[in-house]
Amino acid sequence: MRQDKRILMIGTGGTIASEITDAGLTPGFSTEDLLRFVPSLESLCTVDCMQLCSIDSTNMTPDYWLKIAAAIRERYDDYDGFVVCHGTDTMAYTAAALSYLIQNSPKPIVLTGGQKPIHMEVTDSKSNLLDSFGCACDGRIGGVQIVFGGVVISGTRARKTYSKSFSAFSSINYPVLGVVREGKLIPYLIPERDERPTFYDALNQRVALLKLVPGGSVDLLRLLLRENDAVIIESFGVGGLPTEGGYLEAVHAAAQEGKVVVMTTQVQNEGSDLGVYQVGHVLKDAPGVLEAYDMTTEAVFAKLMWALARTRQPEELRRLFYTPVAADLLGAEE
């Protein structure tokens, strides 16, 4: 690993940068402050710092995703890799969004953070930061990725599955890209990459998410369809809608208005399959209905925002949604 690598560190706040206050943990440390806790990074590479914001990741929004992507785009030629320090609670959403806004990057774009603030005696923040810079300097795994708890996860496949444990993130329906052992990256999968990335600078934020519950009212779905261009429905099992209560009628009416419904599942692993049961089969070829298959909800949410910002034409939207990006989709039958 060469020591002349240049890495841009982008700070957004999060637990890793939080201080203890009377009101609870609050982001307060800058990127320069974080570096002081891991002085050994100086032997790895040259680091430049950029503080984009200092927020709890609960306050992360698509507007910040666009700012992060723009910051990387403006400085892309100046650095060998990028490390984004981010809160864990919405990190998977940000990683997914950046995977669509910055596609096929040959350079690593690493997101990391911590379950405990970096200044605490017992913390995972220091090791996560060291591992992330190691992956960014190594360069063999390009593209958007989360490096956390010693594993490297594709930005479109990550989900926070533990609220407190240091191994907070899992790779859903897809293998991890690699692991970090004693500071060294061991790649398992090296994604294909172009010579230059493709950047995008727009997201349609009129996307909503509805989680079905037994006996839930269709009125909430109607409201979300009225107020948004697309609604993701997290259904039960392999997918479907209740045959009573007006759900099917609401979906069909929305399709006539050009709205989009994506059917996914609340079950974390193995994805959807609308063709299995009658409650799902009736939606297989329904106008305006798409199926998530093995995609994560985080990836579906971000991909819809990206695709809807590019087109509102049903066939083109369908093509964009079912075209794999950064290994986000394996099981589609389209």
SS3 category, 233: strand
Strand pairing category for 81-85 and 108-112: parallel
94, 102 contact by CB (below 8 A): no
> What three-state secondary structure class fits 55?
strand
The CATH 3.40.50.1170 domain(s) of the chain lie at 6-199
Residue 56 and residue 14 in contact, taking contact as beta carbons nearer than 8 Å: yes
Axis crossing angle, helix 62-75 with helix 91-101, rounded to the nearest 10: 50
For domain 6-199, give the CATH superfamily.
L-asparaginase, N-terminal domain (3.40.50.1170)
pLDDT at 290: 96
Burial class (CB within 10 angstroms; exposed 0-12, middle 13-18, buried 19+) of 73: middle
Instruction: Tell me how far CA of residue 122 lies from CA of 183, 192, 280, in angstroms.
Output: 19, 38, 48
Q: Is 12 a catalytic residue?
A: no
DSSP-derived 3-state class of residue 103: strand
Which pLDDT belongs to residue 333? 59
CA neighbor of 294 nearest in space, from 319, 273, 279: 273
Whole-angstrom distance, CA of residue 266 vs CA of residue 276:
16
| Distance between CA atoms of residues 209 and 18, nearest Å | 30
pLDDT at residue number 1? 47
C-alpha 62/C-alpha 68 separation (Å) is: 10
Q: Which residues of 164-200 are buried (b: 16+ CB within 10 A; e: fewer)?
A: eebebbbbbbbebbbbbeeeebeeeeebeeeeebeee
- The alpha helices in 14-60, defined as continuous H runs, are 31-36
Cα(121)–Cα(299) distance, integer angstroms: 35
What is the reported pTM? 0.95
DSSP assignments along 235-265, one per residue: ESTT----SSSSHHHHHHHHHHTT-EEEEEE
- By the 8 A CB rule, do 8 and 45 touch? no
Burial of 304 (0-12, 13-18, 19+ CB in 10 A): buried
The 10s digit of each residue's pLDDT in 160-175 is: 999 999 999 999 999 9
* pLDDT score, position 305: 98
* Residue-level pLDDT at 334: 52
* Residue segments in the chain with a per-residue pLDDT below the cut of 70: 1-3, 331-334
* CATH code for residues 207-322: 3.40.50.40
Q: Which of 15, 112, 123, 296 is catalytic?
A: 15
